[in-house]
Structure 1
Amino acid sequence: MNQNTAKTVLILGANSDVAKQCILQYVEKGFAVIAASRSTDSLKDFVLKNNLSTKVSVLYFDAIDFDYHKNFYDILSIKPHIVVYAAGFLVENEKALSDFRSTQHMMQVNYMGGVSILNIIATDQSNKNLERIIGLSSLSGVRGRKSNFVYGSTKAAFTTYLAGLRQELARRNITVNVLVSGYINTKINAGLELNKNLLMEPDYVAKHIVSAGNSFTIVPNFKWKLINFILKILPESLVAKLP
């Protein structure tokens, strides 16, 4: 892959449905992409199927292998202009309350892994390429609700981290964004009973990531913008009545 003339995007957790759509859209915009995931075979198949071999390289990345993160970053032949942290793991609340190993894994993928690798990337002041970091969060992290508060807490923590990172990197003119999304029609949500009228498609969500501007929070779809606003202003007594 020739990255000499193109800006480079590093997508961490690149095997998700949204991340794969980001790969397609970044390439369409002329970026070179480093797609990193534990599922390298699946990613390689995706790259071949879409004739992207000259524009996308695939690397192994494990979000919870914290000790390896520094080495992973150091061996990148070209340091990224844009970084997207898309790794995610979901355990339904009932299981999260009774099975701490699953809960711990969710915490590690959704929050700790992001903090680990993004700290390494953000503190590398020798990388003059870096322009933007985008983290994928969720409306589940806006307010604690009884149906998903364990998962939501990992997303709330990640959003708070990104907000502080944005302030830290502003002096270097590096933009940090958080995508706060509602229901997406992806494999992570397969089997869940979700309102079909509120489901967004991965390519639609990816479009908002790839076109990220200066605002910190990106909320795709006007319906979810309204829900996000309402969640923030609802009194606790009403939030408690939500599922």
Structure 2
Amino acid sequence: MQKHVLILGANSDVAKAAIPLYVAKGYHVMAASRNTVALQDLVEEKGIPEKQVTILSFDAADFEQHADFYQRLPAKPHIVLYAAGFLKNNEEALHDWSGSYQMMQVHYCGAVSILNIIATDTSNTHLEKIVGLSSLSGVRGRKSNFIYGSTKAAFTQYLAGLRQHLFQRRITVNVVVAGYIRSKMTAGLDLPESLMLEPSFIAQAVVGAGNGFVLVPGYKWKVIYHILRLLPEKLVARLP
């Protein structure tokens, strides 16, 4: 029996890199995004057989439609990847509630809404794994991006609890805590080139996720992750 992967926020750069990797492993991918045209272009560009990918319309912030979206899936998923993302400059977000709220909706509220529906469907005995794409920005609050970071921190904590909730059903929950990714979301930002990671590299970590909870791709970012967790508050306050 062919297994199915549901990718929510499938138009993100990491998700688009993950689609052909899942297909290569024999999965049927249900790619869900607001921008279905971009997904169709990807399928054609990569030469992915259409029978291996089903393109669906999904809006993380349209909570009222999530239950109906799930019920209309062509198949119940074995694996779920939540990769939806939105970034607003911290200074702009401080003065623009709509930008802050959209980050909250996409990274946390929308994730909780749809993943609760998926996780509580006990009739889906095929569900094996839920993977969430988070960020190192959620590890510690920093003055340069604390609004974005707070939404990712909330998402990570939700996944941590969901992992415990699903433990007895033997469903694995992973969180991919990524550093700087070269993507359309970070385009134009002044980020150190030596720390940039390609979406394909993150996608390999996503598709290859094992049983551990926190996955930090890249050895440099693993070091940074552990330093951030242990750094005294007075030193965190000096960070940008």
Structure 2 length as normaliser, TM-score? Answer: 0.99
Q: Residue 110 of structure 2 corresponds to which residue in structure 1?
A: 113
* 1:90-140 deviation digits (Å, cap 9, x = unpaired): 001000100001110110001100000000000000001100000010000
Match of 2:219 among 213, 217, 222: 222
Structure 1 residue aligned with 2:101: 104
Find 2:9's aligned residue among 2, 10, 13: 13
Question: Residue deviations 1:6-40, cap 9 Å, x none?
Answer: 21000000001100011011011111100000000
Structure 1 residue 77: deviation in Å?
2.1
Summarize the alignment of residues 1-243 of structure 1 with structure 2, pairs less than 5 Å apart. 5-52=1-48, 53-243=50-240
Partner SS state of residue 129, structure 1:
coil
Give a deviation string over 1:160-184, Cα, whole Å, max 9, x none.
Answer: 0000000000010000000000000
Q: CA deviation at 1:54?
A: 1.9
Tell me the distance in 2 between the aligned counterparts of 1:162 and 1:54.
31
Give the C-alpha shift of residue 45 in structure 1. Answer: 1.0
In structure 2, what residue type is equivalent to 1:191? G
TM-score normalised to structure 1 length: 0.98
CA distance in 2, matches of 1:42, 1:124: 30
- Could you tell me which runs of 5 or more consecutive residues in structure 2 were left unpaired when the two chains were aligned: none
2:160, 2:145 → 1: CA distance?
Answer: 22
Q: Partners in 2 of 1:54 and 1:77 — Cα distance?
A: 12
Shift, 1:48, TM fit: 1.6
Superposition deviation, residue 148 in structure 1: 0.3
**Count of residue correspondences:** 239
Percent identity of equivalent pairs: 62
Partner SS, residue 192 of structure 1: coil
Distance 2:29 2:54 in 1: 6
Work out the CA distance in 2 between the residues paired with 1:79 and 1:224: 34
Which consecutive residues of structure 1, in runs of 5 or more, have no partner in the other structure? none
Counterparts of 2:47 and 2:179, CA distance in 1: 31
Q: How far apart are 1:76 and its partner, in Å?
A: 1.0
CA distance, structure 2, for counterparts of residue 166 and residue 99 of structure 1: 34
The aligned amino acid for 2:102 is H
